[in-house]
Amino acid sequence: MHKTLKKQYMIIILPVLGLFLAFGLARSLDILKPGLFVIPSVLHGALFVLSAITAIAGPLFLRTLFAHSMREQKHVPAKEFLSFQRKILWISQITPYFAFTAVLCDFPRFYAGAIVLMALYAVYYYFPSQKRINFDRKIFRVK
Protein backbone atom coordinates (compact mmCIF):
# COMPACT_ATOMS: atom_id res chain seq x y z
CA MET A 1 0.00 0.00 0.00
CA HIS A 2 2.79 2.39 0.91
CA LYS A 3 4.61 1.85 -2.39
CA THR A 4 1.40 2.32 -4.37
CA LEU A 5 0.67 5.63 -2.67
CA LYS A 6 4.25 6.81 -3.04
CA LYS A 7 4.20 6.00 -6.75
CA GLN A 8 0.96 7.94 -7.21
CA TYR A 9 2.41 10.85 -5.24
CA MET A 10 5.45 10.98 -7.51
CA ILE A 11 3.33 10.77 -10.65
CA ILE A 12 1.31 13.76 -9.47
CA ILE A 13 4.15 15.90 -8.12
CA LEU A 14 6.95 15.41 -10.68
CA PRO A 15 5.26 17.34 -13.53
CA VAL A 16 4.79 20.45 -11.39
CA LEU A 17 8.38 20.22 -10.16
CA GLY A 18 9.45 20.09 -13.81
CA LEU A 19 7.30 23.12 -14.56
CA PHE A 20 8.89 25.08 -11.71
CA LEU A 21 12.38 24.11 -12.87
CA ALA A 22 11.65 25.04 -16.49
CA PHE A 23 10.07 28.32 -15.39
CA GLY A 24 13.02 29.19 -13.18
CA LEU A 25 15.44 28.41 -15.98
CA ALA A 26 13.41 30.46 -18.49
CA ARG A 27 13.31 33.40 -16.07
CA SER A 28 17.03 33.22 -15.36
CA LEU A 29 17.82 33.16 -19.10
CA ASP A 30 15.40 36.09 -19.71
CA ILE A 31 13.22 34.00 -22.00
CA LEU A 32 10.18 34.86 -19.90
CA LYS A 33 9.78 38.41 -18.68
CA PRO A 34 7.83 39.32 -15.53
CA GLY A 35 4.30 40.42 -16.34
CA LEU A 36 4.07 38.35 -19.51
CA PHE A 37 1.03 36.43 -18.27
CA VAL A 38 -1.58 38.65 -16.68
CA ILE A 39 -4.93 37.53 -15.34
CA PRO A 40 -7.72 39.66 -13.83
CA SER A 41 -7.21 40.61 -10.20
CA VAL A 42 -10.53 38.98 -9.26
CA LEU A 43 -8.95 35.61 -10.01
CA HIS A 44 -6.15 36.22 -7.48
CA GLY A 45 -8.57 35.86 -4.59
CA ALA A 46 -10.41 32.99 -6.26
CA LEU A 47 -7.21 31.01 -6.74
CA PHE A 48 -6.23 31.77 -3.14
CA VAL A 49 -9.54 30.34 -1.91
CA LEU A 50 -9.23 27.31 -4.19
CA SER A 51 -5.74 26.69 -2.84
CA ALA A 52 -7.02 26.78 0.72
CA ILE A 53 -9.77 24.34 -0.23
CA THR A 54 -7.43 21.88 -1.95
CA ALA A 55 -4.62 22.07 0.62
CA ILE A 56 -6.60 22.17 3.85
CA ALA A 57 -10.39 22.02 3.69
CA GLY A 58 -10.82 19.37 0.98
CA PRO A 59 -8.60 16.70 2.55
CA LEU A 60 -10.03 17.45 5.99
CA PHE A 61 -13.56 17.10 4.63
CA LEU A 62 -12.69 13.80 2.92
CA ARG A 63 -11.10 12.49 6.09
CA THR A 64 -14.17 13.40 8.13
CA LEU A 65 -16.48 11.90 5.54
CA PHE A 66 -14.46 8.67 5.48
CA ALA A 67 -14.40 8.44 9.27
CA HIS A 68 -18.14 9.04 9.39
CA SER A 69 -18.87 6.39 6.78
CA MET A 70 -16.71 3.82 8.60
CA ARG A 71 -17.86 4.63 12.15
CA GLU A 72 -20.01 1.52 12.58
CA GLN A 73 -17.48 -0.95 11.21
CA LYS A 74 -15.03 -2.77 13.46
CA HIS A 75 -12.40 -2.94 10.71
CA VAL A 76 -11.94 -0.93 7.55
CA PRO A 77 -11.10 -2.93 4.41
CA ALA A 78 -7.65 -2.14 3.03
CA LYS A 79 -9.09 -1.51 -0.44
CA GLU A 80 -11.40 1.25 0.85
CA PHE A 81 -8.59 2.77 2.92
CA LEU A 82 -6.32 2.85 -0.15
CA SER A 83 -9.08 4.52 -2.17
CA PHE A 84 -9.50 7.13 0.58
CA GLN A 85 -5.76 7.83 0.67
CA ARG A 86 -5.64 8.18 -3.12
CA LYS A 87 -8.50 10.70 -3.10
CA ILE A 88 -6.70 12.78 -0.49
CA LEU A 89 -3.53 12.72 -2.59
CA TRP A 90 -5.35 13.82 -5.74
CA ILE A 91 -7.10 16.69 -4.02
CA SER A 92 -4.17 17.96 -1.99
CA GLN A 93 -1.66 17.80 -4.81
CA ILE A 94 -3.65 20.15 -7.00
CA THR A 95 -2.35 22.97 -4.81
CA PRO A 96 1.22 22.98 -6.23
CA TYR A 97 -0.26 23.53 -9.69
CA PHE A 98 -2.13 26.55 -8.31
CA ALA A 99 1.17 27.77 -6.85
CA PHE A 100 2.81 27.45 -10.25
CA THR A 101 -0.01 29.49 -11.77
CA ALA A 102 0.40 32.17 -9.10
CA VAL A 103 4.14 32.41 -9.71
CA LEU A 104 3.81 32.30 -13.50
CA CYS A 105 1.18 35.03 -13.60
CA ASP A 106 3.01 37.33 -11.15
CA PHE A 107 0.32 37.47 -8.50
CA PRO A 108 0.68 40.12 -5.79
CA ARG A 109 3.10 38.98 -3.07
CA PHE A 110 0.40 38.27 -0.52
CA TYR A 111 -1.54 35.91 -2.76
CA ALA A 112 1.50 34.28 -4.34
CA GLY A 113 3.18 33.80 -0.97
CA ALA A 114 0.08 32.36 0.66
CA ILE A 115 -0.60 30.00 -2.25
CA VAL A 116 3.02 28.81 -2.30
CA LEU A 117 2.92 28.23 1.47
CA MET A 118 -0.27 26.19 1.11
CA ALA A 119 1.36 24.19 -1.69
CA LEU A 120 4.40 23.48 0.46
CA TYR A 121 2.11 22.40 3.27
CA ALA A 122 0.20 20.04 0.97
CA VAL A 123 3.36 18.56 -0.51
CA TYR A 124 4.92 18.01 2.91
CA TYR A 125 1.93 16.97 5.00
CA TYR A 126 0.34 14.56 2.53
CA PHE A 127 3.56 12.81 1.56
CA PRO A 128 2.72 9.10 2.02
CA SER A 129 5.43 8.18 4.51
CA GLN A 130 5.38 4.76 6.12
CA LYS A 131 4.93 6.35 9.54
CA ARG A 132 1.90 8.41 8.50
CA ILE A 133 0.25 5.53 6.66
CA ASN A 134 0.74 3.22 9.64
CA PHE A 135 -0.68 5.85 11.97
CA ASP A 136 -3.76 6.27 9.77
CA ARG A 137 -4.14 2.50 9.48
CA LYS A 138 -4.15 2.28 13.26
CA ILE A 139 -6.68 5.09 13.65
CA PHE A 140 -9.09 3.60 11.09
CA ARG A 141 -8.50 -0.02 12.20
CA VAL A 142 -7.49 -1.21 8.72
CA LYS A 143 -7.17 -4.96 8.22
pLDDT tens digits along 82-135: 999 999 999 999 999 999 999 998 899 999 999 999 999 999 999 999 999 999
Q: What confidence score (pLDDT) does residue 71 get? A: 86
pTM of the model: 0.89
In the predicted structure, residue 5 carries a pLDDT above the cut 80: yes
Q: What confidence score (pLDDT) does residue 128 get? A: 93
Please report the sign of the dihedral spanned by the C-alpha atoms of residue 3, residue 119, residue 51, residue 132: positive
* Residue 140 · residue 70 · CB < 8 Å: yes
Higher pLDDT pick, 143 / 35: 143
Q: What confidence score (pLDDT) does residue 129 get? A: 92
Task: Using alpha carbons, list the distances in angstroms from residue 12 to 54, 86, 91, 93.
Answer: 14, 11, 10, 7
In the predicted structure, residue 9 carries a pLDDT above the cut 90: yes
pLDDT in tens, 19-58: 999 998 998 888 877 777 888 889 999 999 999 999 999 9
Distance CA 15, CA 6 (A): 15
Q: Name the nearest CA neighbour of 20 among 125, 112, 129.
A: 112
